[in-house]
Structure 1
Amino acid sequence: MSKQRPTIADVATRAGVSKGAVSFALNGRPGLAQSTVDKIIAAADELGWRPSNRARSLSVSKAFALGLVITRDPAVLSSDPFFPAFIAGVESVLSTRGQALVLQVVTAGEDEEAGYRRLAQDGRVDGVFLSDLRHDDPRIGLLVELGLPAVTLNRPDGASPFPAVTLDDRPGTTAVVEHLLRLGHTRIAHVGGPPAFVHATARSTAFAAALATAGLEPEAMETSDFTAAGGIEATRRLLALAEPPTAIVYANDRMAIAGLGAAHAAGLSVPDDLSIAGFDDSEIAEYVHPGLTTVRADPFRFGEAAAHTLNQVVDGAADVSDVELPPAQLVVRRSTAVPPQLEES
């Protein structure tokens, strides 16, 4: 027979106190001497007692779970440069609090709205992370309607009652452009993400602004979908221009690495014929050939900060402030070099 799980009564017996005192101590309620609390916690540790989340939720009307709805194709989510590390950061916080992360991967539109409604139904989660913000994002109003506490990942472009955890992409994008300008590039193109996303627009706008500061126009600005296939198609279009760019800046590493492959397939050498830069500093970026110049964000830290902030909201803290993370930083590797015309001169 398996060993029976210790109960709250066992803890009370071991500590020599009432079951009510154990409940008070383990739920952090006032009214007990600190020496009694310490004795109860020690007894619980000795017995290996852990509270049942179901029992905890019934006693305090909480689900002890936070929700994340991701609008992605499940087949490509595992290779996404952001979400796996972000989720790991969230889990590092939730695991210390006995909480769970409820993840739903959905398609945009009615399926996405239904995902949030499922999480709100019967109190399945205590709050949600709102990712991939869109312009005039309708989900903010939906969460208000559902009464779901939330934290937004980056700051929306409209009114929001929720605190935001932000990482400014713009300095990193600007640094990539300035790096290419210092190398001597003047024909620089950009492959951006879906324009409906606030962060995709921010990166594209920062790219164009950095060139404008140098008195230049973008060679071309392609719109893609953050996927490898989209990166390949955008790269092919750019290389087919009558006067193709000497450098391409991509809005994420996945598109950049796919673009690197497309350049090689077209008979070009990177970086001798074409410089390529990405964004995210995903794990593989350092190991492709040549190593990818990119912008390093910290999605694990993003997840930690978002989990801490959302728990403050869920716990009823007053005036939870926005959290500003350090901006993304340029990482220079061998995929960028002086343009070919300068090498020949």
Structure 2
Amino acid sequence: MSSGVVSGPGPRVGMALLSMDDDGGLEPFYADLLAGLEEELDRHDGTVFLHVVPDLDAEILAYRRWADEGLVDAVVVSDLVDGDPRQAVCAQLGLPAVHIGGDPASGEWVVDYDNAGAMRAAVEHLTGLGHRDIGWVSGPQRYRHTRARATAFAEAVAAAGGQGLRREGDYGAGSGASLTGELLDAAPRPTAVVYDNDLMAVAGVREVLRRGLRVPQDVSILAWDDSANSRICHPPLSVVSRDVHELGVLTAGLLLRAVGGGTPVVETPPVAQVVARASTAAVGDEPHHPRIRAS
């Protein structure tokens, strides 16, 4: 991944990110995404320009500067919100853009990830283990993907005759710990909790253990996205698994086609899977052996 622009024969791609972890580094999702993006672009002598911004306005300013100075040939747009201005800005600037999680009906270059289907798979995994009181530590409500997950969470829990309890986090470990504490203080206390990323989930495990409870015997934990954090956690985390590296490769393929002047298309990555590890178990039981279940 380039820390700046390197002029070369291949396409130059810009990506401005708001999401950071508590230590000022990249959220693991984006680290994996960028690794796949860079790998594919490298095959075409391309480069990636990563720029961290404090808010959406600063991101748009970066787009304008990149376009005015001819620094990039295309951009990756992520974490879309309702009425998102970035599509119109990119069109105005003549800057090709690939929208991760964009609207398939928009007529733009879109990588369409089924957040609702993945959340249903997560809830069905837990209700299949007998959990009916299920907590969820979500990402920010402003994001379209969070709202898609919210609708699916409520519907899937209700369909199982359960009760869902949500707390809105910011993807950082600090919010994961504090919001887990709020869920554990609720009555009834959730017997399982879903987290929208691995950083919040690992912090949630620590908070459960700090209170003298056990994972998964007292509280089952299910994280979003497989990662090194998920695998080395004790106990290892059950996850909603999507190949984020391959998502980056797929995004790069669309970028190459967009820079080449192709007609916008929608690409759909493979469906998510629930990978069951030691952090989830049936209510009242010891942990089950790991297994994989497709959504």
Under a length normalisation based on structure 2, what TM-score does the superposition of the two structures give? 0.89
Give 2:187's aligned amino acid: A
2:184 to 232, 239, 258: 239
Which has more strand, going by share of residues? 2
In structure 1, how many angstroms separate the alpha carbons of the residues matched to 2:264 and 2:40?
A: 18
Per-residue CA deviations over 1:155-176 (Å, capped at 9, x if unaligned) read: 238x744210122122232122
Choose between structure 1 and 2 for higher RCO, CA contacts under 8 A separated by at least 6 residues.
Answer: 2
Structure 1 residue 76: Cα displacement: 4.1
- Supply the RMSD in Å over aligned alpha carbons: 2.0
Match of 2:53 in 1: 106
Percent of residue pairs identical:
37
SS in 1 for 2:280: coil
Per-residue CA deviations over 1:102-150 (Å, capped at 9, x if unaligned) read: 1111011432221111211221111111111112211111111211111
- Kept in 2: contact 1:281–1:297 (CA 8 A): yes
Per-residue CA deviations over 1:62-86 (Å, capped at 9, x if unaligned) read: x831111111347646451211111
In structure 2, how many angstroms separate the alpha carbons of the residues matched to 1:322 and 1:263?
A: 41
Larger radius of gyration: 1
User: CA distance change for structure 1 residues 276 and 108 in 2, over 3 Å: closer, same or farther?
Assistant: same
Structure 1 residue 284: Cα displacement: 2.0
The yes-or-no answer on 1:327 pairing with 2:247 is no
- Kept in 1: contact 2:8–2:45 (CA 8 A): no
Match of 2:87 in 1: 140
- Kept in 2: contact 1:78–1:84 (CA 8 A): no
The yes-or-no answer on 1:163 pairing with 2:119 is no
Instruction: Within 5 Å, give how 1:29-68 maps onto structure 2.
Output: 64-68=11-15
SS in 2 for 1:294: strand
User: CA distance change for structure 1 residues 282 and 210 in 2, over 3 Å: closer, same or farther?
Assistant: same
Structure 2 unmatched runs, 5+: 1-5, 287-295
Match of 2:18 in 1: 71
SS in 1 for 2:137: strand
User: CA distance change for structure 1 residues 292 and 189 in 2, over 3 Å: closer, same or farther?
Assistant: same
Under a length normalisation based on structure 1, what TM-score does the superposition of the two structures give? 0.76
Match of 1:84 in 2: 31
Match of 2:257 in 1: 312
SS in 2 for 1:82: helix
Structure 1 residue 237: Cα displacement: 0.7
User: CA distance change for structure 1 residues 145 and 74 in 2, over 3 Å: closer, same or farther?
Assistant: farther
Structure 1 residues 169-178 or 224-233, which shifts more?
169-178
- Kept in 2: contact 1:134–1:156 (CA 8 A): no
Which has more helix, going by share of residues? 1
User: CA distance change for structure 1 residues 339 and 112 in 2, over 3 Å: closer, same or farther?
Assistant: same
